[in-house]
Structure 1
Amino acid sequence: MAIADVYQQINKKISVNNPADADDQTRTNIVHEVLSWIGQPDRHLKIIHLVGTNGKGSMGVMLSDILKETRYSVGHFTSPVIRDDLEMISVNGHRINETEFITSYQRIIKEIERHGGDVNVLNKFEWWVLIALDYFGRKRVDYVVLEAGEHGLCDPTNAIDNPLIVAFSKIAPDFIARQETNLVKITETKLGAIKTGTTVVSYPGQDHAVNEFLKQRTREMGATWFENKPKITLLRTAPDGMYLNVNNLQGLKLALTGSYQIQNLSTVLQIIDVLKAKGAFIQDVDLIAALSRVKIEGRMEYDEQLNILFDGAHNQNGISNLVDSIKGWHLKAKPLMVLGFLKDNNWHEMLDELLPYTQAVITVTPEAPNAMSADELAAKIVMMSNVNVDVADDPSAAISLARQARASTDAMIVVTGSFFTLKAIYEGDTNG
């Protein structure tokens, strides 16, 4: 069986956004039952479950890199990814290969059929989570960093039984997942991650009402709330990273940009403290080395040679963080932006944030079924501001157009609006 055939079969499954006629708990129960049929790999793994709206990807990479540097074997499940879906599943930074992927897929199908189940009930994202957990179980990794999706109570990652740690990144409105803005209601959809006996960590900049809600659920479930925030002082920031004092560590470099990463780092360091308390051997020298080299494709990813920043910010909170970073760098010239949105983005609020801080915009059509066309986005920008707008008929031409437009300046190019925008650009020629 070829990987293309497996992809085709999985992609035919019911839509993630319309998971058949089943309620949230039923969907979780389905995944839980399949896990039991394949030997309940989650019960034999030390899982760090990352849940929230923004920051899971950054936290996941930082945490995985620190553990890998400490010579633990680490399985990492993340989404979305930009180039190849196989990148969603990795061990020690190496994505699952096609043979291993097919092995897990066929093994799961065999067990479902042996137990009289229906393979067509599972949706695409559920398949990926099951394959990841089966693969990590077969590899017997020391730790698993498991990032939740954006599917609320029916998120398949909630089917795991006994996570070692549940860590909440920033909880914020996300118009990709749902038209909901009430933070407490959004938090309600994420409470299924908290299990009896786990340790719960929360993002230090969390909304107060959200934190109180999480604490209440932690008490109700007989879990442990951990709160020992590190002292972090920002020394200086630039597009290629930040220099920080962290507790007794002076001048630590975090090779990620964006002031919001300080809060994500704080959450990761709390997780590290919990792991140490549970017996993990993690030295400062390894932590420093990992953070100085950490890189996240498509998340405030800076190409110093080309002076281009790629950021998959797809909601107002992500765009606000991007703008805050741009303001903090005190650039000599306003950036030139390559933008592409999805139709269900809260595009008006995102443009309100971005347009005052750009000298010109080139619009592209993201590589997604629900993409807003480059022409439509350009028309919206023209209606909202006096910023000069050009349309890239082909995403592969966008970077070339942007570089031509900034030819007489040293302006940074910022590519943002959606991970699907980055995917369209990456598949073009970024070397212009």
Structure 2
Amino acid sequence: MNYRQALEYIHSQKRFGPKPGLERIQKLLSLLGNPQDRLRFVHVAGTNGKGSTTVMTASVLQEAGYKTGVFISPYVLDFRERMQVDREMISEADLTQLVERVRPLVEQMRAGGEIVAEFELVTALAMCYFEQQRCDIVCLEVGIGGRFDSTNVIAPPLAAVITAISLDHTQMLGDTVEQIAVEKAGIIKRNTDVVCYAKQDPGALAVLMQHCAETGSRLILPSAGSVEIKSLTAFGSDFAYGGEEYHIRLAGEHQVYNALSAIETIRVLQNKGFAVREEQLKNGLANAKFPARFEVLHERPMIILDGAHNPDGAKALAAALHSLGKVRIAAVVGMLAEKAVDTLLSEIGPLCTRMIAVDIDNPRALGRDALCTEASAYCADCRSASDYIEAIRLAAEAVGEDGIVIICGSLYLAADIREIALAYKN
């Protein structure tokens, strides 16, 4: 088996199992010797900010000298982003070897009528890899939900982190924030230290507080009111919190509050014996980076790539754009049909001089002409483009060298357009 065949095997599995539950991942990991039982975890769930919080926390731990695994979902550019150790993606050879090891057990289960879903397989591969690499700690991001997510197979983590909860994946998780919070709270096990996003939705926070009370867990809620934001730019933010000053490269006010979750998570780990100095905490936060999170790809015009695709993500993106001051903005947008199309367009459209709708290479995508029609309700100059180079050119033409081109709407779009945007020539 080569790397291409290994990826093809992974992606050939069904996207979801026949029914929600942890039985399949538990059995697969049992057949593999339960590698997860020999690892320590920070478990991160939520709707928005999971990846950023995971990466910031891991960056601090690595800065402090701990061999740190990172499991993120979804990836943006390369499948191997899902499994990293000390910022290095799993090698093609290691992933291929692991698929060769796990595949016979997946097929054994299939023969017995138990169908392993793709994310369950990926989770099992990651657990094997992190054990193989002898990680000191793993920052583990939930895929979807929490309660029945395959990452929830782990024993109580050193810390559970719940980032901002809002509406997304409503067909699976429920159509209210409170229902979704119940699913996210499923990662809270007995006697767990739980760090919560500082500006959590009140309904979601009530659910999390109740779940912590029922499980004897401690809820840690950073004080949003004690944060002093000193600067917000496209290249990061400076803020003061708890008597210390910090800089982060991830842009947008929402990332400041994600950083608070990372800081409080590190405090929990310090109380459990992890030696992290304040200088290491600051350096780790400052060094953390994540593709497609208000990522500046080009400076004149400023081309920014953001994966915002749900209501709260759209609001955070709009707020980040507002923080840059009065500047001409054009957007290149592509979206999946099931996402909150109108919400994103209504947040971003009024800020834009021009919007360009594009297709995404995904069977669930909303066609560019339909997207353009919807966008015209919020922006006077809406166009569709048949290729990404033309879309970026049309957007750049509308704003000039001093303006901003924002590319948003889907992580699928981000994956396909990022290299093209990086190579853009005026």
- TM-score, normalization by structure 1: 0.92
Alignment check: 8 A CA contact 1:112 1:118 kept = no
Deviations 1:181-211 (A, max 9, x none): 3111111222321122322111111122322
User: For residues 242-261 of structure 1, what are the structure 2 equivalents within 5 Å?
Assistant: 242-250=237-245, 252-261=246-255
Offset at 1:174?
0.7
Give the aligned residue type for 2:10. I
Q: Deviations over 1:246-293 (max 9, x none)?
A: 22223x221121011121111111101100000001111112222223
- Structure 2 partner of 1:285: 279
For 1:209 and 1:385, the matched residues in 2 are separated by: 30
Q: Select which of 128, 148, 157 maps to 2:142.
A: 148
1:275 to 269, 272, 294: 269
Amino acid paired to 2:236? G
Residues 1:354 and 1:176: Cα distance change in structure 2 (over 3 Å): farther
Distance 1:115 1:419 in 2: 32
**Taking structure 1 as reference, are residues 270 and 98 closer, same or farther at Cα in structure 2, changes over 3 Å only?**
same
Q: Which residue of 2 aligns with 1:371?
A: 365
- Cα pair distance change 1:227/1:388, threshold 3 Å: closer
The 3-state SS of whatever aligns with 1:53 is coil
Q: Determine whether 1:330 maps to 2:314.
A: no
Conserved? CA contact 2:3–2:92, under 8 Å: yes
Q: Which amino acid aligns with 2:409?
A: G
Moved more, 410-419 or 189-198: 189-198
Q: Decide whether aligned partners of structure 1 residues 344 and 176 sit closer, same or farther in structure 2, where only a CA change above 3 A counts.
A: farther
Is 1:342 the counterpart of 2:330 in the alignment? no
Question: CA 1:249 to 1:271, structure 2 compared with 1: closer, same or farther past 3 Å?
Answer: same
1:241 aligns with 2:233: no
Q: Distance in 1 between matches of 2:44 and 2:205?
A: 15
Aligned to 2:411: 419
Residue identity matched to 1:247: G
How far apart in 1 are the matches of 2:308 and 2:110? 42
Q: Find 2:388's aligned residue among 367, 386, 395.
A: 395
Q: How far apart in 2 are the matches of 1:377 and 1:366? A: 11
Q: Does residue 303 of structure 2 align to residue 311 of structure 1? A: no
Name which of structure 1's ranges 174-183 and 385-394 shifts more when overlaid on structure 2. 174-183
Give the AA of the match of 1:287: L
Q: Cα 1:347–1:83, aligned 2, differ >3 Å: closer, same or farther?
A: same
Give the Cα separation in 1 of the matches to 2:110 and 2:51: 36
Which residue is 1:107 aligned to? 101
Which of 339, 348, 353 is the matching residue for 2:347? Answer: 353
Structure 2 counterpart of 1:204:
198
CA distance in 2, matches of 1:402, 1:12: 37
2:388 counterpart letter in structure 1: P
For the 8 Å contact 2:106–2:116, the answer to whether it is kept is no
Letter in 2 for 1:328: S
Q: Take 2:113 and 2:141, find their aligned partners in 1: how far apart are those partners?
A: 24
Alignment match, 1:9 = 9
1:329 partner SS: coil
2:390 maps to a residue whose letter is A
C-alpha change, 1:176 and 1:309, in structure 2 (3 Å) is farther
Aligned counterparts of 2:35 and 2:129: Cα–Cα separation in 1: 9
**How many angstroms does 1:396 deviate by?**
3.5
Give the counterpart letter for 2:120 in structure 1.
E
Deviations 1:122-153 (A, max 9, x none): 11111111111110011110110000012553
1:93-104 matches, within 5 Å, as: 93-104=87-98
Please tell me whether the aligned partners of residues 311 and 415 of structure 1 are also in contact (alpha carbons under 8 angstroms). yes
In structure 2, relative to structure 1, the CA distance for the partners of 1:177 and 1:101 (3 Å cut) is farther
- 1:217 CA drift (Å): 1.7
Give the C-alpha shift of residue 110 in structure 1: 4.1
CA contact (8 A) 2:308 2:314 kept: yes
Residues 1:157 and 2:151 aligned together: yes
| Partner deviation per Cα, 1:184-241 (whole Å, 9 max, x = no partner) | 1111222321122322111111122322221222232233333454842101111111
**Aligned twin of 1:123:** 117
Deviates more, 1:394-403 or 1:94-103: 394-403
Cα separation, 2, equivalents of 1:356 and 1:220: 45
Q: Which residue does the alignment assign to 2:76?
A: 82
Work out the CA distance in 2 between the residues paired with 1:324 and 1:424.
25
> 1:376 corresponds to which letter in structure 2?
A
Give the unaligned 5+ runs of structure 2.
Answer: none
1:418 and 1:194 map into 2 onto residues whose CA distance is 29
For residues 148-194 of structure 1, what are the alpha-carbon distances to aligned partners after superposition, in whole Å with 9 as ceiling and x for unaligned? 01255331111112322111001100147648431111112223211
Q: Is the 8 A contact 1:364 1:393 kept in 2?
A: yes
TM-score (norm 2): 0.93
After superposition, give the CA deviation of every residue in 1:342-370 in whole Å (9 maximum; x if it has no partner). 10111112211111111101111123221
Deviates more, 1:170-179 or 1:312-321: 170-179
CA distance in 1, matches of 2:68, 2:173: 35
